[in-house]
Structure 1
Amino acid sequence: MQDITTSRATNSVFVPVAGLTVFAIASGYLMSLIPLSLGNFNIDSSYASWLASIYYVGLLLGSMMIEPIIAKIGHRVAFITFLSLLAATVVVLPIFPNKEVWLFARLVAGMAVAGIFVVVESWLLIGDNQKERAKRLGFYMTSLYGGTTIGQLAVGVFGVKGFIPFMVVMALLLIAILPPLLVKQGQPSNDAHQVLSFKQITRLSKPAIIGCMTSGVVMGSIYGLMPLALKQSSLSTNQVGVLMASIILGGMVIQPIISKISVKMSKTLLLALMSLVGVFAMGITHLSSDFTVLVTALALLGMSSFALYPIAITLACDNLDSSYIVAATQVMLFSYSIGSALGPIGANTFMAQTNGLMDFFFIVLLATAIYMLFASLQRKPQVLAS
C-alpha cells in the first residue's frame, strides 16, 4: 500500500474544525437537555436510559453505513447533510412530545452523529503526513470536548423548559452548517473511496482497534456512570461538577502534548503508556479520599481516556492509501461504539462496591496496557492487499 504522504491533498482544517466546534456546543447542551426536559413534556424520566441507549445503537448502525454516502457526495456535502439531519431530529422533539417519537428521533440522531464523526475524522486524516495528522487530531479532540463542555453551561443560561432550549440547539446546528456551506474549497479530493473487505479489516492494526474499543468502554462509562458514582461517595453537586470538569480539562490539556509525542515514538507503546497513566490515577484514589487528590486523579484519568482514541485512529491510518481512510475511520468508530455500548453494562456490575467504578477503570486500563506493551514488542506493518 502506498504511503498516504504520496497522495497529498489540499484539504483545509478550518471547515471541519469550525463546524465541529459549534456542533459540539450544541451536542453538549442537548446531552443534558434531553434527560432534564422529560418531565416538562410528560415523559417518564425512566426513559432517559432508553434514550441514551438508542442513541448509541444509532451511532453503531451509522458507523457501518457512512462510507458509501461520503464516496457518492463528498465530504463537504455529507457534512452539511448529516448536520441538517441532526437538526431535523432536534426540531421533532418539542413538537411531538411522545416517547416513541423521541426514541426514533434519537436513533436517527445517533446515525447522523456517526456520519459527522466519520466525515470530520477522515477529512482531517486524508492527504497529510503523520506529524500533520496527529496535530489535526489534537485540534479535533480539543474542539470536540471543549465545545461539549461549553454546551453543558448552556443549561444554566437557557434552562430546560419549553421550546426555547431546543430552538437554541437547532440554531447552533444551523450555524455549524455555515462553514461547509459557504467555504466550497479545501475539502479532500473526491477520489474513489474503497470499501474494506472483512479480510482487509482483519489486517488493520489490532492495537488501534483495541485502543478505540477501550476508549469507548472508558468514555461511555465516564459519561454514563461517573456522576452517579461520585454522588454515591457523599460528594455535593458542586463537587461532582468540579470533578467532571477536571476529567474533561485533563483530556483537553493532553491533546497538544500527544500530537507532538506520537510522531516521535511507537504509537502502540504510547497507547500502553497512556493506559498506565489511567491505572496510576485509579490507584491513587485508593490511597487518599482527599478532594484535591480526587481532582488530580480524575484529571489524569481524563488525560488517559481522551488520549486513547486520537492515538489509535492515527495508528490505524498510518501507511494507508488515501482511498481507504474513510473506511478505516468508519471501522474505528464502529469499534469505539461497541465499547461505548458495552462499557456501562460491565461497569454497572461494579457500582455496588465502594470505589467500584474506579476499580473497573483500573482493570480495563491495566489489561489494555499489558496488551499494548506486548503488541509493541512484536508490531508489524499493516498491509491491505486485496
Structure 2
Amino acid sequence: MVSVVARILALLSGTVLLLLGVGLLNTLLVLRGAYEGFSDDTLGLMGSSYFAGFLVGTLAVPHLIRRMGHIRAFAFFTAALTAAVLGHLMRIDATVWIVLRVVAGAAIVGLYIVIESWLSSHAGDQLRGRVFAIYMVCNLGALAAAQQLLAIDAPSGYLLFVIAAALVCVAAMPVSATRLAPPEVPAEGRMSLRGCYRKAPVAVVAGVLSGLAMGAFWSLGAVYVRRLGAGETVAADFMTAAILGGVALQWPIGHFSDGSDRRRALVLVALLTTAAAAAMLLVGAGYWPLLAAAFAFGGVAFSLYPIAVAHLIDHLRTEEILSGNATLLLFHGGGAAVGPMIAGALMAHLGPMALPLHFMVMTLLLAGIAFWHTRRRDDVIVDEPAVFVPMVRTSQGALDMMASAEQAAGATTETHTN
C-alpha cells in the first residue's frame, strides 16, 4: 500500500493544491459579492451557475479529455480555471461573475475527471477502495483547510484571489511531472433517468433533495453567517466546522445504515439534519454554539448522498452500478444547480434565517417521502447488500473507485461473516 501511495503521490498532491484554491475561491466569492452589495438572490444565482457548469462539464468534458489526453487536458482546464479566478478581479459585475462561475464549474469537473481516472487506473483492483478513501480524506481535508486561508487578508482586497489562482496553477506542476502513464477515458454509460427512478425511487429523491440542500450550503453558508452580523473569520470557521463534521460522522452513520433498511436510515438522518438546521436558527451568531450547530449539520447532511448511493446499489446488478451511479450523480447535480437559486431568493425576501429553513424543508420532505415508501412496500435487495462508502460529490471519475471500494468492503464483510 505504501508503494502505491508513493506512486500516486503526485496526483494526491495536485488534488490537495487544487482544492485549497477552489475551496478558498468558492467561499471568497460569496463574501466578496456580499461586500460589493450583491443581493442574496444574485449570490444564489452565482452558486447555481457554478453547479450548472459542473453539470455541463460532467456531460461534455470526457470527450475533450479523450481528444487531448490527460496531461494536456489538465493544463487546458487549469488555464481556464486560473483565468476565471483572476477574471473576477478584472470586472466586478454580477453578470460577468455568473458567466465565470459556469466556466469554473466546467473546468473543475475536467480537473476532477483527469485526476480521478488516473488514480483509478493506477490503484489496482485490490487497493482501489483504500485509494478512494485516501482521496476522499485529501478532498475534505483540503476543503476544510482552504477556509482558514481567508484569515490571510480581507475579501475586499485582491490578495486572496491571487492566492487561489496561484494554488490552482501550482496544482498542475506535480500532475504534469508525474511519470505515470495516462489512462484511457472509457466511454460513459448512463442508465436512463426513468430507469434509475424505477430501480430505486427513494435514492433518486434523496439525490435530488440532498443536492438542493447541499448546493445551497456550499454557495450561501458563508453569506448566512455574514448576514447574521459575524465577521469573515467566523464565516470561515463555520464552513470548516461543517466539513469536519462530515469527516467525523460519515463512518458511524454509514455503519448504522448498513445494518438497517436504508430508507429508514434516510428518514433518521434527514430528521437529524432538520434538527441541526433548526439549531442554526436558535443559536444565531453565538460563536461556539454556531460552530457546534455547523459541525452537527455537516456530520449528518454530508451523509445523505452517500446513503442514497448505497441504497441505489442495493437495487442494481453488478454490471449496472457504474451507469446507475452516473445517473444518480446527474440527479444530485441538477438539485445542486437549482438549490442556491431557490435559497438565495428566499434569503433576499426573508433574511438569513431562510437558509436553514430551506435546509429544513428539503430534509423534512426527504424524510416524509422515504417514510412513505417504507410503509408502502418492503425493501428488496437485488443481489448483495451494498456497503456505505463515505464520499463527496466530485465527478464520474470517482465512481469506478467508489464501486471498487464498495465491492471490497462487501467482500470483507462476507469473509468475516463466513
- 1:181-220 correspondence runs (5 A): 181-185=176-180, 189-190=183-184, 192-196=186-190, 198=192, 201=196, 205-220=200-215
User: What is the TM-score of this pair, normalised by structure 2?
Assistant: 0.68
2:299 to 289, 299, 303: 303
1:363 to 355, 361, 364: 361
* Closer/same/farther in 2, CA of residues 104 and 186 from structure 1, 3 Å limit: same
Q: In structure 1, what is the Cα distance between the partners aligned to 2:163 and 2:231?
A: 29
Residue 306 of structure 1 aligns with an amino acid whose one-letter code is F
Q: Gapped runs of 5+ residues in structure 1?
A: 1-9
- 1:50-199 correspondence runs (5 A): 50-72=45-67, 78-95=73-90, 101-120=96-115, 133=129, 136-160=131-155, 164-185=159-180, 189-190=183-184, 192-196=186-190, 198=192
Tell me the CA shift for residue 288 of structure 1: 7.3
Q: Alignment partner of 1:64: what SS?
A: helix
Tell me the CA shift for residue 27 of structure 1: 0.9
RMSD, aligned α-carbons: 4.5
2:330 to 334, 342, 345: 334
Q: Gapped runs of 5+ residues in structure 2?
A: 384-418
Q: Alignment partner of 2:59: what SS?
A: coil
- 1:225-240 correspondence runs (5 A): 225-230=220-225
1:245 to 224, 240, 245: 240
Residue 252 of structure 1 aligns with an amino acid whose one-letter code is V
Aligned length: 368
User: What is the TM-score of this pair, normalised by structure 1?
Assistant: 0.72
Tell me the CA shift for residue 305 of structure 1: 1.5
Quick check: 1:31 aligned with 2:26?
Answer: yes
Q: In structure 2, what is the Cα distance between the partners aligned to 1:19 and 1:93?
A: 23
Query: Which residue of the partner structure matches residue 339 of structure 2?
Result: 343
Q: In the alignment, is the contact (CA less than 8 A) between 2:210 and 2:363 conserved in 1?
A: no
Residue 114 of structure 1 aligns with an amino acid whose one-letter code is V
Query: Which residue of the partner structure matches residue 381 of structure 1?
Result: 382
Percent identity between the two aligned chains: 23
Q: In the alignment, is the contact (CA less than 8 A) between 2:23 and 2:147 conserved in 1?
A: yes
Q: In structure 2, what is the Cα distance between the partners aligned to 1:354 and 1:194?
A: 41
* Closer/same/farther in 2, CA of residues 58 and 146 from structure 1, 3 Å limit: same
Q: In structure 2, what is the Cα distance between the partners aligned to 1:319 and 1:106?
A: 37
Tell me the CA shift for residue 48 of structure 1: 4.9
Tell me the CA shift for residue 26 of structure 1: 0.3
Q: In structure 1, what is the Cα distance between the partners aligned to 2:15 and 2:283?
A: 39
Residue 350 of structure 2 aligns with an amino acid whose one-letter code is A
Deviates more, 1:148-157 or 1:99-108: 99-108
* Closer/same/farther in 2, CA of residues 191 and 32 from structure 1, 3 Å limit: closer
Q: In the alignment, is the contact (CA less than 8 A) between 1:247 and 1:301 conserved in 2?
A: yes
Tell me the CA shift for residue 301 of structure 1: 1.0
Deviates more, 1:300-309 or 1:46-55: 46-55
* Closer/same/farther in 2, CA of residues 268 and 381 from structure 1, 3 Å limit: farther
Q: In the alignment, is the contact (CA less than 8 A) between 2:19 and 2:143 conserved in 1?
A: yes
Tell me the CA shift for residue 365 of structure 1: 1.7
- 1:315-330 correspondence runs (5 A): 320-321=318-319, 325=322, 330=326
Q: Alignment partner of 2:80: what SS?
A: helix
